[in-house]
């Protein structure tokens, strides 16, 4: 009877990253720069790859997918965060929160799988060069990219359907800056053990196992590179794989800490700081890492700047 008298939550209030007006103003400027740079940088990468005939290899096909994914990923959280930093009442409707929660999780899962696919691509290119062009054909690349997106969208649907079936009768304050599954799950006024277990299982399948595959792939890559006599090829392989590994370490490290920790506690401020790394910082770094540390990409960008009309073809 007590539960029947409890009101149903129709909106959530974000606690945000800070309650200090000065800090909020600074965060607004920083996050706006991050968002604009991420969108513009990844858009340039996609455009250059599509316009350059020299960048038609599987590696750049997956990189274009990653860049598009990053644009989608940051667009699920940063615009809402920017609005909240400018307004006094930091609220979001229950339905809008559900949509944000679904897409942010789906895009995050897609990135986990796509990074593993990119590691496998580098493994074949460096460790099995004679079979690379045969194995990594256009059809397989398309199927792998499609599988990354489809499996993640479906997995997020399963998790979010379980979360949304839970009753939310208060409190309605999210200790976060956007709607993320762990933060929303902490506000449910029911037993969340089953949902926590499902989230943990999917974290193993979508995050931890791909991470292990990446570690194995790079172990093989490192072993192969060390057997190469010091040449330009060895240096290029180190730069390419080093760039990828930088992204992998930051993204997986922070995401696994967030989703594979016990959720039977109230989200802490440190959780929000961890989330910033894999939802905002990593997408920001992709254009820098894959353009400034990649000779082929830099050459293609120079040609595109020298002949802007080629980008419109």
**Is a pLDDT exceeding 90 seen at residue 82?**
yes
Q: Identify the residue whose tokens are 């496998």.
A: 120
Return the percentage of the chain with pLDDT > 70, whole number.
87
Asked if 48 and 304 count as a contact pair (C-beta separation under 8 A), the reply is yes
For residue 73, CA distances in Å to 235, 269, 293 come to 32, 22, 23
Asked if 44 and 55 count as a contact pair (C-beta separation under 8 A), the reply is no
* Predicted pLDDT at 5: 40
Which of 58-72, 124-138, 222-236: highest mean pLDDT? 58-72
Structure tokens at 18: 């800070």
* Predicted pLDDT at 6: 47
> Containing domain of residue 265, as a range?
11-312
Indicate the pLDDT class of residue 293, thresholds 50, 70 and 90: low
Asked if 168 and 187 count as a contact pair (C-beta separation under 8 A), the reply is yes
* Predicted pLDDT at 305: 72
Average pLDDT for residues 65-77, to the nearest whole number?
94
Task: Quote the CA–CA distance of 99 and 111 in Å, as a whole number.
Answer: 18
Average pLDDT for residues 104-128, to the nearest whole number?
91
Question: Is residue 77 situated within a structural domain?
Answer: yes
* Predicted pLDDT at 310: 54
Asked if 262 and 192 count as a contact pair (C-beta separation under 8 A), the reply is no
Task: Quote the CA–CA distance of 212 and 220 in Å, as a whole number.
Answer: 13
Q: How many domains does the chain have?
A: 1
Type and span of the H or E element at 173: strand 173-174
Q: pLDDT averaged over the chain?
A: 84
The residue among 74 and 8 whose pLDDT is bigger is: 74
**How many Å from the N-terminal Cα to the C-terminal Cα in the chain?**
66
The residue among 268 and 121 whose pLDDT is bigger is: 121
pLDDT tens-digit map of 132-190: 988 899 899 999 999 999 999 999 999 999 999 999 887 788 888 899 998 898 888 88
Task: Quote the CA–CA distance of 80 and 177 in Å, as a whole number.
Answer: 8
Question: Is residue 83 situated within a structural domain?
Answer: yes
Question: Is residue 3 situated within a structural domain?
Answer: no
Structure tokens at 108: 């995050």
User: Which of these ranges, 36-40, 112-116, 231-235, 250-254, has the smallest mean pLDDT?
Assistant: 231-235
User: Which of these ranges, 93-97, 132-136, 265-269, has the smallest mean pLDDT?
Assistant: 265-269
Question: Is residue 259 situated within a structural domain?
Answer: yes
Question: Is residue 5 situated within a structural domain?
Answer: no
Q: Residues 71-74: contacts with CB within 8 Å, 24+ apart? A: 71/38, 71/39, 71/42, 71/43, 71/283, 72/103, 72/107, 73/104, 73/107, 73/108, 73/111, 73/279, 73/283, 74/34, 74/35, 74/38, 74/39, 74/279, 74/280, 74/283
Question: Is residue 4 situated within a structural domain?
Answer: no
Indicate the pLDDT class of residue 222, thresholds 50, 70 and 90: confident
**Is a pLDDT exceeding 50 seen at residue 215?**
yes
Question: Is residue 1 situated within a structural domain?
Answer: no
Task: Quote the CA–CA distance of 243 and 213 in Å, as a whole number.
Answer: 17
Asked if 160 and 181 count as a contact pair (C-beta separation under 8 A), the reply is yes
Asked if 263 and 196 count as a contact pair (C-beta separation under 8 A), the reply is yes
Indicate the pLDDT class of residue 109, thresholds 50, 70 and 90: very high
Q: DSSP labels for 109-135?
A: HHHHHHHHHHHHHHHHHHH-HHHHHHH
* Predicted pLDDT at 4: 42
Question: Where residue 189 sits, what CATH number does that domain have?
Answer: 1.20.1070.10
Is this structure's pTM higher than 0.75? yes
Task: Quote the CA–CA distance of 157 and 180 in Å, as a whole number.
Answer: 14
Average pLDDT for residues 37-53, to the nearest whole number?
89
Which of 49-58, 95-104, 172-181: highest mean pLDDT? 95-104
**Is a pLDDT exceeding 70 seen at residue 311?**
no
Q: What are phi and psi of 190, to 5 degrees?
A: -160, 175
Question: Is residue 6 situated within a structural domain?
Answer: no
Task: Quote the CA–CA distance of 259 and 254 in Å, as a whole number.
Answer: 9
DSSP state of 158: H
Task: Quote the CA–CA distance of 232 and 234 in Å, as a whole number.
Answer: 5
């Amino acid at each position: 009877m007590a539960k029947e008298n409890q009101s149903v939550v129709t909106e959530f209030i974000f606690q945000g990253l800070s309650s200090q007006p000065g800090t909020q103003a600074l965060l607004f400027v920083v996050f706006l720069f991050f968002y604009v740079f991420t969108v513009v940088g990844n858009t340039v990468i996609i455009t250059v790859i599509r316009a350059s005939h020299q960048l038609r290899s599987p590696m750049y096909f997956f990189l274009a997918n990653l860049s598009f994914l990053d644009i989608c990923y940051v667009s699920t959280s940063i615009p809402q965060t920017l609005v909240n930093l400018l307004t006094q009442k930091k609220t979001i409707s229950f339905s809008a929160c559900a949509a944000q929660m679904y897409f942010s999780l789906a895009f995050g899962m897609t990135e986990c799988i796509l990074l593993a696919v990119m590691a496998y691509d580098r493994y074949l290119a460096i460790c099995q060069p004679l079979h690379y062009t045969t194995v990594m054909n256009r059809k397989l690349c398309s199927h792998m990219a499609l599988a990354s997106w489809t499996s993640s969208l479906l997995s997020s649907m399963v998790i979010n359907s379980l979360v949304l079936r839970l009753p939310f009768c208060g409190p309605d304050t999210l200790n976060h800056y956007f709607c993320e599954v762990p933060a929303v799950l902490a506000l449910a006024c029911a037993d969340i053990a089953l949902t926590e277990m499902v989230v943990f299982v999917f974290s193993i399948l979508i995050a931890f196992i791909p991470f292990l595959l990446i570690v194995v792939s790079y172990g093989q890559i490192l072993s192969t590179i060390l057997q190469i006599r010091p040449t330009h090829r060895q240096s290029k392989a180190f730069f390419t794989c080093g760039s990828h590994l930088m992204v992998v370490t930051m993204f997986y490290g922070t995401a696994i800490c967030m989703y594979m920790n016990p959720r039977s506690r109230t989200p802490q401020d440190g959780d929000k700081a961890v989330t910033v790394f894999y939802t905002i910082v990593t997408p920001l770094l992709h254009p820098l890492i894959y353009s400034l540390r990649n000779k082929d990409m830099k050459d293609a960008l120079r040609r595109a700047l020298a002949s802007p009309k080629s980008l419109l073809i």
